Chain A
Amino acid sequence: MAGIIETPGQQHPWLVIQPVTPAEAEGELLVSQEPLSFWGGYDALTGEIIDRRHPLSGQCALGKVLALPFTRGSSTTTAVLLEAVRRGTAPAALLSTGVDTFFALASLAAEELYGRPIPVFALAPQDFARLESGRRVRLHPQGRLEFL
């Protein structure tokens, strides 16, 4: 099932999403169609995107729902995300097209070490394409993205 669903009697439209390491989260979307390596791409001190070749360069993802098609490059992406969780500079949640195993692993390690998994969800490509930076969303662990 794909596409935005509007249910009569419900206030907000929503999308079906696939829970990967699910937990409830809410925040403003920060979206790019271009993949990112968090090593060399995400500053764990501040949450800023620092890959100067990336469209989100200079944006801060701290507390946002960060949507990237997938991670590229360095296998240290997971370590950078774990450090961001420890410092409180991680995104509120991570969305990708298809399951991104680096996001999933970072979330599992954050749960093991700090008891704070990162909510991670996967979207169908055509749904991912509907996401826009700046929209506020709520993510439900059962697999629902609600546009607020």
Chain B
Amino acid sequence: MLEGLHGPAARMAMRMLVRMAHIWGARELLDISQAHIDSTIYIGEATLEYAERLAQLGARVRVPTTLNVSGVDEHHWQEWATPAGWAHNAARQMAAYQGMGCQPTWTCAPYQVAPRPRLGEQIAWGESSAIVFANSVLGARTERYPDLLDICCAITGRAPAAGLHLEHRRAGQILLVLQDIPASLQQSDSFYPVLGFILGRLALDRIPVLDGFSIKPGEDQLKALGAAAASSGGVALYHIVGTTPEAPDRQAAFQGNLPQKIYPVTLEDLRQSWRALNAADGEDLDLVVLGSPHFSLAEFQRLAPLLHGKQRHPSTRFLVTSSRAVVHLAEKAGLLEDLRSFGGQITVDTCILAAPMLPPEIRRLMTNSGKFAYYSPGLLGTQVVYGSLEECVLSAQAGRVARQEAVWQG
């Protein structure tokens, strides 16, 4: 490929991959079975130029490849404040990647819509929340692929044999132990982004192992935990003893090594983290937003009965971000009627962080997503309130923050 026998795009992709492999200290490349491309996110003309350069050079992916969110909801962007020029450029970038033979999934949660990689499978994924899900929950093996490199892996079908691709680099390094956290709290969805925020802060770029659970967290809870930890830290893999596939017990999670450090996690630590996710000095809400990572079918199933027979407050918009495929399934299952009569809206292909879709009058928003809560103040300049799914619905009805879970106030 480096000699150009597979065309100029494969040559450019392989050139970057080989240079990165040297920087990683990898001695060889390995075959991957699939890729997920985060380079779809439109940041400005540079990301568009990069995509179109590869497309003009004739790039084709060599492995099944899913696409992450883009910078625009291709068919509904006019419902929001996305500038037309941005929408046009972001759509051009979408076309460039789709033209390379990638699947137009347009989601940060490809594991909800495409065949999942199996335990031990070598893959190359971008998107921090998807990377941590693939490694931790599925036990597939991917490094933390940055935008611009993920597509090079897809075009060449190869990845550097380094980092989390290698068995011995997947061993836990630090241990977090829950200290007397009530099972009722562990069952609550709002627990996981809060714990994830701590996890990222403590782990930074080390591999954390969590122990001390008295319940087995569900898939959407693990999704939320990883997404928050990959926002506040660089976590690409975590293990939960007794839950995640590479951690049947503590010994296995650490591959026989001792933890470098042990951190107790108390209810008071969790309350502090909860407070850090809340960055607002008022109660009136302009928007309630759910779905980062993209809302799953199971989440739509939980949401529908909460909305039944109710309506949002006229001054508080209510938005769910998800993928085309999941929204299609939710529609078929009759889960969107309550959302519509509530006065809610749906955005697909993108989210409030990846598209400049929010009008300036939206100054304070509430969410159940640790990732939205983490990034909104910096990316959007908004104030943010964090709460459970139930609290988000109650608040959208009231037009102002409504609380239900007394445990966080402590």
Contact = CB atoms under 8 A, between A and B. Distances in A.
Contacts of B146: 75-78, 101-102, 105-106
A124 interface: no
Contact of A79 (B43, B232, B279, B375): B43
Interface stretch (B17-25, B173-181, B264-272, B308-316): B17-25
Contact of A109 (B38, B126, B145, B148): B148
A74 B20 contact: no
Residue among B24, B46, B150, B200 with most chain A CB within 10 A: B46
B353 interface: yes
Interface string B1-31: 0000000000010011001100110000000
B127 A75 contact: yes
A87 B44 CA distance: 10
A72 B127 contact: no
Contacts, number: 124
Contacts of B143: 101
A129 to B, nearest CB: 16
Contacts of B230: 73-74
B32 interface: no
Interface stretch (A7-15, A39-47, A138-146): A39-47
Nearest to B38: A75
Contacts of A53: 276, 377-378
Interface residues of B, number: 46
A: interface residue count bin: 35 or more
A80 interface: yes
B333 interface: no
B13 to A, nearest CB: 10
Interface in A94-121: 99, 101-102, 104-106, 108-109, 112-113
24 contacts: A21-B23, A35-B205, A35-B234, A37-B231, A39-B379, A40-B375, A53-B276, A73-B231, A74-B128, A74-B230, A75-B145, A76-B146, A78-B149, A79-B147, A79-B148, A82-B148, A87-B44, A101-B23, A101-B144, A102-B146, A104-B20, A104-B23, A105-B148, A106-B146
Interface of B: 12, 15-16, 19-20, 23-24, 38-39, 41, 43-47, 49-50, 53, 126-128, 131, 143-150, 200, 204-205, 230-234, 276, 279, 353, 374-375, 377-379
Interface of A: 20-21, 35, 37, 39-41, 44, 50-53, 70-80, 82-83, 85-87, 99, 101-102, 104-106, 108-109, 112-113
